[in-house]
Amino acid sequence: MSEARRNDVNSTRHTIVFATIVCVICAALVAVAAVTLKPAQQANALLYKEKNVLLAAGLIEPGDKIGTAEVEAIFKRSIRPRLVDLATGELLSEAGHDARRFDQRAARNDPATSRSAPDNLAGIRRLPNHGVVYFITEGGNVDQIVIPIEGLGMWGTIYGFMSLDSDGNTIRGLTYYDQRETPGLGGEIANPTWQALWHGRKAYDPQWNVGIQVIKGVAGPPENDPMHVDGLSGATITSKAITHLVQFWLGPQGYGKFLTHFREGLTL
C-alpha cells in the first residue's frame, strides 16, 4: 500500500465515514429485526398474559407447560373476554371490540383512551377508559370472573390478575406475573404458596365496602378471618402496596361499579 493510501485510510475523514456506514448498517439491521420479530413478540406476550388469567382462575396449575393450542382451546371452551366502561361499570358491545387482544397498558398510557386517576394510595396516575373482564363459564353459566390489577410496589409497577366467584365477592385465585419486588422478601408475592392464601377470602365486608387487606403477621383461616391475608415477612412496603392496589381495583375507580352490576344480575 502506498504511503498516500495508508495516510488516507488512517485519516480522520476515513474513520468518520467508516463509523457512519457501520452505524447505518447496524441501525438498519436492528430496525428490520424489530419489525420482523414484532408479531412473534406480541403473540408471546398475549400467550403469557392469558396463561396468567388461567392461573388466577385455577384452570391450570403453576408449572404447567401448555402452549398456544391448549390456551386457545380453553379460551374457546370456557372464557369470554369483554370490555367494561370503568366510569359506568357497563359492558361494551362485543361488536367492534376485540377484548381478548385489548392492550390495557397501552390504553392507560394513551391520553386519547385514558384519564387522570384521582389521588390514591396505589400509585396509579392514569386510568384507561375501558378495562377487560374475563368471564369464566361452566355449563353455560358464569362460574367466576377475572380482572386485571396493578399498582406501584417498592421498585416498580406490579401487574396481576384476581379471580372472583360468581357472587362477585369470594376470591377464587390471584397471580402476580410482572413485578420487581425484592427476591425472597416482597418478591414472594409471586410464590404460589402465598397466592393460595387468598383463596376463599372476601373482597367486601357485609356493607359492600372493600375490606380485603394484607396484614402484619398471620391471618386466620378464611372462614374465621375472611378479609385478612398473611403479611410478607420483611416486606412491609410491598404488603401495603398489595393492599392498596387490590382495594383500588375493587373500588369505584376500578372495577367496583362493574362488580355491583354483576352482583345485581348483569348478563352477557
Output the 3-class SS for 149-162.
Answer: EEEECCCCEEEEEE
User: Mean pLDDT throughout 239-254?
Assistant: 98
* 83 three-state secondary structure: strand
User: Is it the case that residue 40 has pLDDT exceeding 90?
Assistant: no
* 18 three-state secondary structure: helix
Dihedral of the alpha carbons of 89, 92, 98, 99, in degrees to the nearest 10: 20
Report if residue 140 sits inside a domain.
yes
How many separate domains does the chain show?
A: 1
Instruction: Give, as one character, the DSSP assignment of residue 69.
Output: H
The predicted structure's pLDDT at residue 34: 46
| pLDDT classification of 76: cutoffs 50, 70, 90 | very high
Report if residue 134 sits inside a domain.
yes
Strand (E) or helix (H) holding 176: strand 171-178
Report if residue 12 sits inside a domain.
no
**b/e string for 140-167 if b means 16 or more Cβ within 10 A?**
eebebbbbbbbbbbbeebbbbbbbbbbe
* 254 three-state secondary structure: coil
- Set of cell numbers at residue 10: 488512517
Instruction: Give, as one character, the DSSP assignment of residue 215.
Output: -
| Structural domain range at position 177 | 43-263
Report if residue 26 sits inside a domain.
no
The strand pairing partners of 38, in sequence order, are: none
User: Is it the case that residue 117 has pLDDT exceeding 60?
Assistant: yes
Q: Which among 117, 133, 40 has a CA at the least distance from the CA of 81? A: 133
Report if residue 189 sits inside a domain.
yes
Report if residue 190 sits inside a domain.
yes
- Set of cell numbers at residue 2: 502506498
Phi, psi of 29, rounded to the nearest 5 degrees: -65, -40
Report the mean per-residue pLDDT for the chain.
90
8 A C-beta contact, residue 229 and residue 171: no
Report if residue 106 sits inside a domain.
yes
* pLDDT tens by residue, 1-24: 555 555 555 566 666 666 677 766
Q: Sign of the C-alpha dihedral, residues 258, 212, 179, 69?
A: negative
The predicted structure's pLDDT at residue 39: 58
Report if residue 15 sits inside a domain.
no
Round to whole Å and give the CA distance between 161 and 150: 8
